[in-house]
Amino acid sequence: MSRKQQLLKRHRRNKRMGLLIGLLVLIASGVLLAWWLPLVLAVLGWVAHEAWFADHLFYSPQDDYQYTFGPDGERFGLHLEGERLVLDQPLNLAGGETLVLAIKVNSRGLGRFLDPSVQLLGGEQSDLQTFERGVNGLRYLNLSEQAGVLSRGELRLKGRCCRVQGQPELWVFRQPDYREQRVMVIAPHADDAELAAFGLYSQAKEAWVVTLTAGEIEAEHYQQMGLERAEAARLKGRLRAWDSVAVPRWAGVPQAHCAQLGYFCLQLPAMQAAPDQPMASREADVSDIRLFRQLNPFPMPGDSDGAPTWNNLLADLRALILRARPEVIVLPHPTLDPHPDHICAQAAVLEALQGLEWQPTTLLGYANHLHDNDRWPMGNSGDGIALPPVFDASLSLYPCSLPLTLDQQRDKAMALGMMHDLQPRAALKRRLRRSIQVLLAGRKPSPYGENEYFRKAVRRHELFWRLEAPQGKS
C-alpha cells in the first residue's frame, strides 16, 4: 500500500468516527431538547464542515516541515528586526538564483478559519504565500524574486492571520538559466506539461513535449452525450491526444517537437511489472496504441506493432531522446508526486537513459500531485508558491524556482483552458463547497477558470527540483 493510500485510509477512518460522534450528538439533542434541533444542527454542521474542515490535509498543520537540502545549497545568516529581514552578510548573487527562507509561521485565532499567509513587501515584486489553516510550525518561503529587495535590506514579512517568528534561515541555490537550453518535458498525461512547466518550455531556446498516455479513462462527461462507456473513453482519448500535440503550439513549440505515445491511462505500473506483456485500456476496449498516435509528425518504434508494452515505451523514449538530444529533461519527481503513472513515467525515462549515447546534463522534477495536501500550492491564482509539505528528512532536495510575468501567467491559463479535461463543470457538491468557502472562509475563485488547477498552476513561479544527474553511456 502506497503512503498516499495509507493516509487516505486513516483520513476516512477518522471521518467515520467523527460522523458517528456527530450522529450521537444529534440524536441526544433531539431526545433531550427539541425534535427540530437535530435538523438545524445538521445543516449548520454540514456548512461548517464544507467551509473549514473539507480540505484533504493528511497531517497536522502544527508539524514542522522537514527539509534536507542538497550539499550545493548555500546557507546565509539573517535576522528579523520587526517585520524587516536583515542579512548578517552581503549576498553575492549573479541573478536567477532560487532563494528559500526557513521560518516559523504561527497562526493567529482567525488563522483557523481564514487561510494564513505571509506578505513579502518592500519592492515592486510584492508577493503573498499561503499556508495551512491552524499552521504552527517551520515553513519555507520562496524569496527568489525578492533577491534585490533583500540585499538592500528593504524586504518585510507581514503575516495575515499569522505571525512569523523565531530565527530565520536563508538558503541560496544557484543554477544555470535552463531557458537557454534544449528542454524536453515528459508528461504522463495531456496537461501535465502545461501544469508543471508551461512557463519553462514556452521560453526555452528549443522545447519538446512528450506525452506518454492518452488519458482516456474517467470519461463520464462524454457518456452524458449518449455514448457508451468504451465509446466515451475512445473519444476522450482522441481529444486529449489532440490537446497534447496542439496546445504546445500556443507556446511556439513546433508540431515536429510534440509526440503523443498513446499508452493507456493507469496501465503504466502493470506494463512495468511485465515489460513484454501488452496492457489494454481499462475502459476504451482497445489494445492498439496507434489509435492515439495518428497525429505524430514522425514514426516511432512502437508504431510497428502498436502493442502497449513497457519495452515499446522504452524504445519510443530512446528514439525521442536521440532525436531531440535534450540538455534538460523535465519529468515527475519520484517521491513528491505519488500518482502511479507519474512514478512510472520517471522510472521509464531513467531506464531509457541507461547506456544511451546521448545523456542530458540536468533532470528537473515536478509535482502536480502531493501525498498529503490536495490544495498545494495553497493560496490564489497569481500568488507565489511556497515549498510543499515534506516530512522525510532523508530526502535531499534542491529547489529551482522560475518566475512568470503576469502576461506569461495569462498565456499559461489560456493553454490550460484549451485542455478538454479541464473544461467540464465541477460536480454540484464541489461547486457548493467553493461557494460556501468564498462566503465564509475568504477564499477567491480563479479568474481563469472553474477547475482547481487554474488556481493551483497559474502562479508567479513554477517550482522544480533538480534531480541527480543521469549516468553517462555505459
List per-residue pLDDT tens for the chain, 474 residues long.
555 566 667 666 766 776 777 677 767 777 777 777 778 788 888 898 899 988 988 889 999 999 999 889 999 999 999 999 999 999 989 889 999 999 999 998 899 999 999 999 998 889 999 999 999 999 999 999 999 999 999 999 999 999 999 999 999 999 999 999 999 999 999 999 999 999 999 999 999 999 999 999 999 999 999 999 999 999 999 999 999 999 999 999 999 999 999 999 999 999 999 999 999 999 999 999 999 999 999 999 999 999 999 999 999 999 999 999 999 999 999 999 999 999 999 999 999 999 999 999 999 999 999 988 999 999 999 999 999 999 999 999 999 999 999 999 999 999 999 999 999 999 999 999 999 999 999 999 999 999 999 999 999 999 999 998 665 553
Query: 222: number of CA atoms within 13 Å, CB side?
Result: 22
Fold exhibited by the domain 68-173: Jelly Rolls (2.60.120)
Domain ranges, ordered by start, for the chain: 3-53, 68-173, 179-369+405-458
Contact indicator for 314, 348 with CB cutoff of 8 Å: yes
Q: What is the pLDDT of residues 336-359, one digit of tens each?
A: 999 999 999 999 999 999 999 999
> Would you list the DSSP string of 343-401?
HHHHHHHHHHHTT-S---SEEEEE-SS-SSBTTPSPS-TT---PPPP---TT-EE-EEE
Residue 48 to residues 216, 425, 435, Cα–Cα distance (Å):
36, 24, 13
Domain 179-369+405-458 falls under CATH 2.130.10.10 = no
Name, in order, each residue with C-beta under 8 angstroms of 138's C-beta and a sequence gap of 6 or more.
64, 65, 102, 103, 104, 105
Strands 461-467, 258-263: pairing kind: unpaired
Contact indicator for 58, 8 with CB cutoff of 8 Å: yes
Contact indicator for 396, 68 with CB cutoff of 8 Å: yes
CB atoms within 10 A of CB 201: 27
Residue 53, SS3 per DSSP: helix
Closest CA to 365 of 405, 398, 387: 398
Angle at 72 between CA 67 and CA 76, to 5 degrees: 70
Closest CA to 392 of 52, 59, 44: 59
Q: What is the pLDDT of residues 20-36, one digit of tens each?
A: 776 777 677 777 777 77
Closest CA to 99 of 165, 167, 166, 175: 175
